[in-house]
Amino acid sequence: MPLPGWLFLLALSSAFSVQANIGSELLTNSVLVKLWPFLAGVLITAVLGWWLRQQQLAKQQLQQNVLRQLLTDTSALVAIMDRDCQLLLASTALEQLTANQNICHSMYFDANAKKAAWPDIQLLLQQKNSWQGEVWWQLKTDLLAVSLTITQSDNTAWPAARYLMVAQDITERKRSDQQQLNNLTRDPLTSLPNRILVEEHLNTNIAGCTSLYPATALLLVKFNQLLGTEQSGPKQSSAQRMIEAALGLRQAIAPQYTVGRYSSDSFAILVAPHLCPLPVELTLHQLAHQILIQASQFTLPRNATAVYASIGISRFPEDGADAAEIMHSAERALQTAARSGINHFCYADSRLQQNATEYLTLQAELSKSLQNNDFIVYFQPQFSISSNRVVGYEALLRWHNPKRGIMQPQSFLPLAEQSGMIVALDRFVFLQCCHQIQHWLQIDQLRGRVALNISVQNFQQSDFIDFMNDCLLETNQHAKHFTLELDERIFQHNSELLQSRMSTLREMGFQLLLDNFGDGISSLTTLRQLPLDAVKISRSLISQMEQKEQQRNITASLIRLAGYLQLEVTASGIDSEMQAYLLHVMGCDKLQGNLFSKALPVNEIPALLARENKLLKNAVN
């Protein structure tokens, strides 16, 4: 760049002026003569330095202008970013995209993705000076798939520019890939998962089986008259009938079940492990009946033969060790069902066939007994080893079945859970306990608290707290007389609702106890974070204590842990004196089991307390 004229004249004038002044002073001081070359050099150096800086700035400005022009002319998605991936300059195409779609001016990840991905990208940039990958940009109404290339820049003309990013829109390619994947895994007619995806889902379900949810099931459903001749005209073609059957099947069952097209004339229904609680026969039986009812509602004009369904059912692990075996078992069961007659279902395991019918009959009896109040509450005493006295009771339900006699809880409570009747039974027990405590207080025979089991379904009812409070008010009782034994499944989702509900119950005066401690997902975190007062050791640990040292060590550790957290410990299912002795040595004082007393009807409790008093008096004497 040429030196500006005014600056050149100023420098020249200054030089002559300095020379004239120095000349006049030479007559009086020769030192000034020596300063002239130095002063002139300083001035010239300053002028040259300024001129070089202007040249450098002009060069940088020229390069930036060229770069801006290139970004304006290109149709590519290009960006220049600083070291923090903040946008410095973008191509017109990218600027229009960000302006129209409101994409943030950064690396175009969302905040979480950027936080997770950026350190790895930076490491590769340091090692190889470039990174390439695929990301999704969130638009206002859609997602844009892009292929990104990020290159580290050492451009001295623009020091702030650290990275060059080039993006390519690959949305159409991704959608095409997805469509190809759908073609491989989805039935093109019904859009349901095809057999390949059904088998993959079944493998996933098998892998997801646990000790808490040990089973998963497959149902194969075949409708007749879906792939017959085209007698019914274009509107009722085989394809149309298959689509209608798929829609009807999807509507007939709950959305949590996976429905797929298994073959040209059959469908598959997958029942995940958490949907297969014991007894699994009841769930599968009800599901099969829903499908048969749906089949009867299909109509095929101009066709004399009605639509009916055949269903084959298999489950893991009884009917196979892997997906292939489970599918083969279901196919055999489907063939048997098809030979058995119209609207029929068949299990691969004949024992389940018998059990399913039995459970359905039992369910009808249970529903009728609820209306007739054919239930009674028994009380099993809880003893203190140190005092040899009754220190509480557990309320246990008995069913006086008119046809089968007195039935124990384990024979009907699983059925009540699956059918939803467990809520009514839970509430019946609590109300009966309120009345019984009222009576015991009047005759001075109440010993400690009464413990009662709370099911998951009952605890999750929106009016659970209100019902408990209303019962207490109705019977003029206080929550301090009760211990609520909470099923461990209640704690699987440690939500704010769980915390709030437990805190409310505790404030009301209820003692909260974690049931079956040591037999599931309980953890130190659960015990510390939730407002619990007590734990009950799992029966599975106690039953094996005498034979297995490992079970004794685990039980002792759990009792110590509860002690550290200041939680009361109860052990139930005590059947031998050795079990009672071991638990007493371990520090568990509150025991319950047939060794001391079985569950008793309320009219036998006074005799039990009288025997206790007699034994204590004899011991004193």
d(CA 250, CA 243): 11
Q: 423: domain CATH number?
A: 3.20.20.450
Residues 62 and 79 in one domain: no
Hey, how many other C-beta atoms are within 10 angstroms of the C-beta on 253?
A: 18
How far is 440 from 520, CA to CA, in rounded Å? 36
Distance separating alpha carbons of residues 26 and 21, to the nearest angstrom: 9
301: cis peptide before it, omega within 30°?
no
pLDDT band for 30, please (50, 70, 90 cuts): low
Residue 547's pLDDT band (cuts 50, 70, 90)? confident
The residue out of 302, 333, 360 marking a domain boundary is 360
Has residue 373 got a pLDDT over 70?
yes
pLDDT score for 409: 87
Q: Does position 302 have pLDDT exceeding 80, yes or no?
A: no
The 3-state secondary structure of 553-579, one letter per residue: HHHHHHHHHHHHCCCEEEECCCCCHHH
522 CB-near residues (< 8 Å, 6+ apart):
488, 491, 514
Instruction: Give domain status of residue 600, yes or no.
Output: yes
Which residue, 175, 201, 236, sits at the end of a domain? 175
* Domain coverage including residue 141: 74-175
**35 domain-assigned:** yes
Q: For residue range 312-331, list pLDDT tens digits in order.
A: 999 899 888 899 999 999 99
Share of the chain above pLDDT 70, in %: 74
| Average confidence score pLDDT of the chain | 79
Residues 6+ apart with CB under 8 A from 23: none
Q: Which of 432-446, 455-469, 502-516, 540-554 has the lowest mean pLDDT?
A: 540-554
Do 171 and 242 lie in one domain? The reply is no
CA dist., res. 154 & res. 61, Å (int) = 17
The pLDDT, as a whole number, for residue 10 is 43
Per-residue confidence band for 232, with pLDDT thresholds at 50, 70 and 90: very low
Looking at residue 218, what is its pLDDT? 94
Q: Which amino acid is at 309?
A: A
Predicted confidence band of residue 309 (pLDDT cuts 50, 70, 90): confident
Residue 237 sits in a domain whose CATH number is 3.30.70.270
- Checking if the pLDDT of 476 tops 90, the result is yes
Confidence of residue 75 (pLDDT cuts 50, 70, 90): low
Confidence bin at 394 (pLDDT 50/70/90) = very high
Tell me: pLDDT of 347 over 60.
yes
| Greater model confidence, 39 or 247 | 247
Question: Is residue 471 situated within a structural domain?
Answer: yes
Q: Which of 219, 282, 290 shows the shortest CA–CA distance to 252?
A: 290
Last residue of a domain, one of 47, 69, 91: 69
Q: Is 211 found in the same domain as 345?
A: yes
**Per-residue pLDDT averaged across 190-216, rounded?**
89
- Lowest mean pLDDT of 210-219, 446-455, 491-500, 594-603, name the range: 491-500
| Residue, of 27 and 135, whose pLDDT is higher | 135
Looking at residue 485, its pLDDT comes to 94
Residue 5 DSSP code: H
Looking at residue 106, its pLDDT comes to 46
Q: In what order do the strands lie in the sheet with 216-223?
A: 258-263, 266-271, 216-223, 309-316, 344-347
Confirm whether 366 is domain-assigned.
no
pLDDT over 90 percentage in the chain: 26
C-alpha dist (Å) from residue 448 to 91, 481, 505: 79, 7, 18
- In terms of domains, do 449 and 504 share one? yes
Average pLDDT over residues 294-300: 64
Asked if residue 328 is part of any domain, the answer here is: yes
The reply to whether 224 falls in a domain is yes
Whether residue 158 sits in one domain with residue 208 = no
- pLDDT given at position 400: 92
The SS3 of residue 434 is helix
**Averaging pLDDT over each range in 65-74, 286-295, 422-431, 611-620, which range is the top one?**
422-431
Of the pLDDT bands very low, low, confident and very high (cuts 50, 70, 90), residue 1 is very low
| pLDDT of res. 113 | 59
Instruction: Name, of 71-80, 300-309, 387-396, 517-526, the range with top average pLDDT.
Output: 387-396
Q: Are strands 389-401 and 375-384 parallel, antiparallel or unpaired?
A: antiparallel
Instruction: Note the pLDDT of residue 210.
Output: 86
- 3-state SS, residue 407: strand
Average pLDDT (115-126) is: 73
Determine the pLDDT at residue 231: 45
- Which is more confidently placed, 217 or 184? 217
The pLDDT value given to residue 568: 93
Say whether the peptide bond before residue 2 is cis (omega within 30 degrees of 0).
no
* pLDDT score at 355: 65
Same domain, yes or no: 161 and 203: no
Instruction: Quick: pLDDT tens for 143-176.
Output: 778 887 888 876 666 667 778 888 878 878 877 7
Q: Mark whether 206 and 107 lie in a shared domain.
A: no
Q: Are residues 352 and 398 in the same domain?
A: no
- Residue-level pLDDT at 59: 62
**Tell me, what CATH number does 149's domain have?**
3.30.450.20
468 Cβ contact partners less than 8 Å away, ≥ 6 residues apart: 430, 479, 505, 508, 510
pLDDT for 278 beyond 60: yes
Least Cα distance to 157 among 284, 222, 66, 219 occurs for 66
Residue 533 falls inside a structural domain: no
pLDDT category of residue 602 using cuts at 50, 70 and 90: very high
The distance in angstroms from the start CA to the end CA of the chain is 121
278 and 380 together in one domain: no
Least confident of 73-77, 98-102, 509-513: 98-102
Domain count, the chain: 4
Same domain, yes or no, for 477 and 391?
yes
13 and 33 part of one domain: yes
Residues 508 and 606 in one domain: yes
Q: Residue 43 corresponds to which tokens in the numbers above?
A: 């001035």
Does a structural domain hold residue 244? yes
Tens digits of per-residue pLDDT, 508-542? 999 999 988 876 655 566 677 788 999 999 888 88
SS3 track for 509-526: CCEEEEEEECCCCCCHHH
pLDDT band with cut points at 50, 70 and 90 for residue 15? very low
Query: What integer pLDDT is reported at residue 80 of this predicted model?
Result: 78
DSSP output for 223-252 = ETTSSS-STT-GGG-HHHHHHHHHHHHHHH
What is the phi/psi pair of residue 79, to 5°?
Answer: -145, 150
